[in-house]
Each structure stands twice: as C-alpha cells, then as structure tokens.
Amino acid sequence: VVLAVGSFAAYVAWSFAQASVDTIGEVDFDRPLAIPPLAASTVDAQGVRTFDLSMQAGESDLGRGAPTPTWGFNGSFLGPTLRATRGEQVRVNVANRLDETSTVHWHGMHLPAAMDGGPHQPIAPGARWSPHWQVDQPAATLWYHPHPHGETAKHVYRGLAGMFIVDDEREIALPKVYGVDDIPVLVQDKAFDGSKLDDTHGLFQSAGILGDTVLVNGTPGPFLDVTTERVRLRVLNGSNARVYRFHFDDNRAYAVVATDGGLLPAPVEARELLLSPGERAEIVVDVRPGDRTVLRSTPPFIESNRFTGDKDRLDILELRGASTLRPSPALPATLAPAPDLADDTVGATRQISLGGSNTNFGKMDLERVDVVSRLDTTEAWDVTNSDGQVHNFHIHDLQFQVIRYAGGPPPAVLAGWKDTILIAPNESVELRMRFTDFADAESPYMFHCHLLRHEDQGLMGQFVVARPGEQVGTIQVPDPVD
Ligand code: C2O
Ligand code: CU
C-alpha cells in the first residue's frame, strides 16, 4: 500500500546552515545489537503494574578500548524497556542514586501534569518518586528520559533514556516478538575524548553535540541477525541535537507503519525518513535470505550552500538475513483510525514562535505560565521557526494532528498522531490538539524545542489545562462559546 506523498519535497529539501556536520567513515559492524531487556514488573491485587527504575552511575564499554563513565537506569547505560497495555494502571518507583537532582519524564504519554516528570517534579539525590497513572492511549512507541531544569542535555547524553511501549487490544498483523522481529532501535550520536564519553565540549555549543560515533541501544557498530521475512524497527532518535535522514545503503523501500503517537492510518512506502531528536517511527523492512543492508543517515542539510553529500553519511545498523527466514505476516492495508481534529470547533488559536533561546513568551521561566488551555477544547497552534536554525517542537501530555506542514498538506508520514515535529528554518506548521482529562491549574506541562541544548537554554514554555471560569494567574479561562 503506497500513499501519495504530499509535500514530501518540502519535507526533505531544506537548505540551512548547521554547525559542521561530521564526516564519518566506514563502520565495522562487529557487535551484535544489544536489546534492552523488558523491565520486570509486578501486578498487585488492584491490578496496578509497578516498575522499579534506579538512576545510577557506572561504566560502559562504548567501543573505545576502555570503559567510560556513564549513567543509566538499572544499569550503567540506557534503561530497560517498559511495557504496558492501554487501560492498565501503572506505577513507577524511581530512585535517584546519582549525586545530582534529576527527573524522569514520560515522553509522549497522556497523563496528569503532576506525574509528567518535567522540571516541576525534581528527584533529589537519594530520594524516590513514584508517579502513577492509567495508560489511556493507542499502542505506541514512547520513551522516558530526565528533564531537569537546564540540565536535560547532560543527563540524557550520559545515558539516561529508555523506551516505553504501549500496547492496546487491537489485533494488527505486524511483527511483534520483542527482540526477534520487533526491535527497539534507540539511535544516539556520541563524541569521545580518547576513550571517555565527552560530555563537556560540544554539549554546550550552539545546537548541542554532534558526535562522530553512532550507538544503537548503546552498541557501537551493531549488526542484527534477522530470522524472519520482515522485521519491525522501532526507531527512536534519542540524540541531543542530530537530525537523521534514515535510508538503506541499497536504497530499498520500507514501510513506515507508526510515528510518535502510534500506528499511521495506513503503511507509507518510503526510502528515506527524517527524524529529529525525540521523534519515533516504526518501520517494517523486507529481508531476503542471506541479505546484508545497512541503515544509514545522510544529513538533510545544505551547509554553506553546498550539499554535504554522501561522504557525511553515518552508518548506523547492519541487518543480516539468515539463510532461511521464517514467514512474516503480510502488511495490513490499513492500520489505525486517522486523527480527527481537523473539523473540530477551534476554541483558541495560538501563535508560537521558536527563535534563539526563546519562545515568543521569552525565556523559559518555571514561575510563568505562558498558555492556559481550557479542558475539553481543541486548539490550533501555528508554530514558526523564526531564527533560521534547526528546531523542532514537542508538547507534553498530548498527541497533535498536523494540519499544514511548510505551507502544504502534511506528507503521508505526518498523517498520524505526533508529539514532536521538525520545523524547517523560517517555516511554520499548523497543529491541532485537544486538551482532555487532566485539568490542574497548579501543575504546568511543557512545550519546547527537543534539541536539548536549546531546551536547556530556555526555548521552552509552560501551559496548564484549566476548567472553564478558572483563574490562572492573570488569565481568566473563558467559558465555552458553544
Ligand atoms: Cu522528551 Cu519535554 O521532552
Ligand atoms: Cu531548537
């Protein structure tokens, strides 16, 4: 099933200056891809599923000959994959065994602001935090990572990140055996100083670090032995600053079946796909017996008006087909209901501009609420990248629908629910979002650029969801018009 690809040209053909793009040579694919373990959990008599996460320091072999200091959840680098089914009550006991205050944010999750794990829920060294909520959203690949005020780049970069897979009851014929034909692919670029993970230099320059080594699930130079005819890759760009243009070295087509908020309306055939930091996509790749193919990224940038070209590619992951492959289900023609906010009555239209280290509200201020949204209202947000740099836009708590992208209808890969979206320099996107379930005038959620350096610099704002008639600071929430 191949859908028309809307303004795909606009989606990929950007020209903008970017701090130097690294040239990366050939990678020896000599290590098996690590698969993060599924997190253990217990279910109590009330049906609450409880996970334990411990934020800790350790040492990791990241392929530089000697171990390097890193951070991780329940280990020395990255974290286990949490998994829960729609409708379940979950609780996560988070223990901070670091010597710095941090937080854990559930990126993409619809949940009360007090459970969100943003900068308003700090966990002091030695302390515990136990958020709990009911999972209530379609099946999706979400993730978790720290979100401490001004320190997110460093905490994520050192290794604090993991996936959170939400399942639902719908039976969809996609590869689904975790670690066999359904594979987490957490992609991060890293820089090293000798054998040591360099968490100083680039972290604090312009957009943030652009490393010359790509790790997948923490593995440098990884290969994956594929034993089935089709493999589903849950790709998460967990990098601080890098935008990837994912494609295979033989230019094979693959099917994009899901993005941030879950399954697309239908599979979209693609040969390349842009993912900016924080974005996810699930792709299904056909593999032949004995196949070898390399997932690559060629930067989508034009640098100083010159296409950086193939020499700047990053080799990411080699897929190796076994000599005989077990059969996989045929791709379904349709996957999930399409987002349905386009015809809603719009309760508020907002202009958000991202530029420098500010939004149009100013620099992030934990004491300032920038937007008050009325519960059970659909809003239109026009988000503009106003300063010619690379930015994206991420909002907590909800998934939005893309109405317009860079002046045109969204390309098919942006036809599903999203929580993070890349915005080309001097371009705008028009989003629709609905604020439901969790009114709490006291607890702000965040929206921000997910290039972590920009976020830390203050390119972030706060919104609260309030009931009609409520007063939030100086803002009186209007009663519904209809
Ligand atoms: Cu993944 Cu506010 O972040
Ligand atoms: Cu930015």
pLDDT one-digit tens code per residue, 289-316? 999 999 999 876 544 323 344 456 899 9
Say if residue 391 is in the same domain as residue 462.
Answer: yes
21 and 131 fall within a common domain: no
Strands (E), 249-345: 254-259, 262-270, 273-275, 280-286, 292-297, 302-303, 306-307, 314-326
- Does residue 170 have a pLDDT over 60? yes
User: For residue 66, is pLDDT > 80?
Assistant: yes
| Statement: residue 250 has pLDDT above 70 | yes
Task: Map tokens 């978790």 to a residue.
Answer: 144
Ligand 1 pocket member 236 (CB < 6 A): no
Task: Indicate if ligand 1 lies below 6 Å from the C-beta of 448.
Answer: yes
On whether both 304 and 236 belong to a single domain, the answer is yes
Q: With a 6 A CB cut-off, is 105 part of the ligand 1 pocket?
A: yes
Give the chain's domain count: 3
48 with 148, same domain? Answer: yes
Q: Give the number of the atom of ligand 1 that is nearest the alpha carbon of residue 396.
A: 2
Predicted pLDDT at 312: 63
147 lines ligand 1 (CB under 6 A): yes
Residues 322 and 195 in one domain: yes
Which of 116, 139, 167 terminates a domain? The answer is 167
CATH of residue 134's domain is 2.60.40.420
The pLDDT score that the predictor gives to residue 11 is 44
- Reported as a pLDDT band with limits 50, 70 and 90, residue 206 is confident
23 pLDDT more than 90: no
Q: How many CB atoms lie within 10 A of CB 39?
A: 20
Let me know whether 322 and 357 are in one domain. no
**What is the pLDDT of the chain when averaged over all its residues?**
91
* 74 and 204 fall within a common domain: no
Judged against a pLDDT cut of 60, whether residue 224 lies above it is answered with yes
Query: Measured in angstroms, how far is the CA atom of residue 307 from the centroid of ligand 1?
Result: 31
Q: Of 167, 202, 219, which one is at a domain's C-terminal end?
A: 167
Structural domain ending residue among the three candidates 167, 202, 220: 167
What is the Å distance from ligand 2's center to 211 Cα? 17
Shared domain check, 311 and 192: yes
| 446: its two tokens | 């965040």
State residue 132's pLDDT score: 98
Q: Is the alpha carbon torsion for 240, 241, 243, 246 positive or negative?
A: negative
Of 233, 239, 242, 241, residue with least CA distance to 295:
233
If DSSP codes are grouped into helix, strand and coil, which group holds residue 412? helix
Q: Which residue's CA is the nearest one to ligand 1's atom 1?
A: 107
| Cβ neighbours of 225 (radius 10 Å) | 12
Q: In whole angstroms, how large is the CA radius of gyration of the chain?
A: 21
Residue 98, domain member (yes or no): yes
The least confident of 63-72, 141-150, 199-208, 436-445 is 199-208
Residue numbers of the domain that contains 405: 346-470
On whether residue 479 sits in a domain, the answer given is no
Would you state the pLDDT for residue 481? 54
Q: What is the pLDDT of residues 331-370, one digit of tens each?
A: 999 999 999 999 999 999 999 999 888 999 999 999 999 9
Read off the amino acid at residue 230.
Answer: R
Burial class of 57 by CB neighbour count within 10 A (0 to 12, 13 to 18, 19+): middle
Are residues 372 and 465 located together in one domain of the fold?
yes
What is d(CA 475, CA 466) in angstroms, rounded to the nearest whole number?
10
Residues 188, 162 within the same domain: no
- For residues 49 and 135, membership in a common domain is answered with yes
Whether ligand 1 lies within 6 angstroms of the CB of 394 is answered as yes
Query: CB of 107 closer than 6 A to ligand 1?
Result: yes
Judgement on whether residues 180 and 135 belong to the same structural domain of the protein: no
What separation in Å is there between the alpha carbon of 455 and the centre of ligand 1? 9
Cα(390) to ligand 2 centroid in Å equals 6
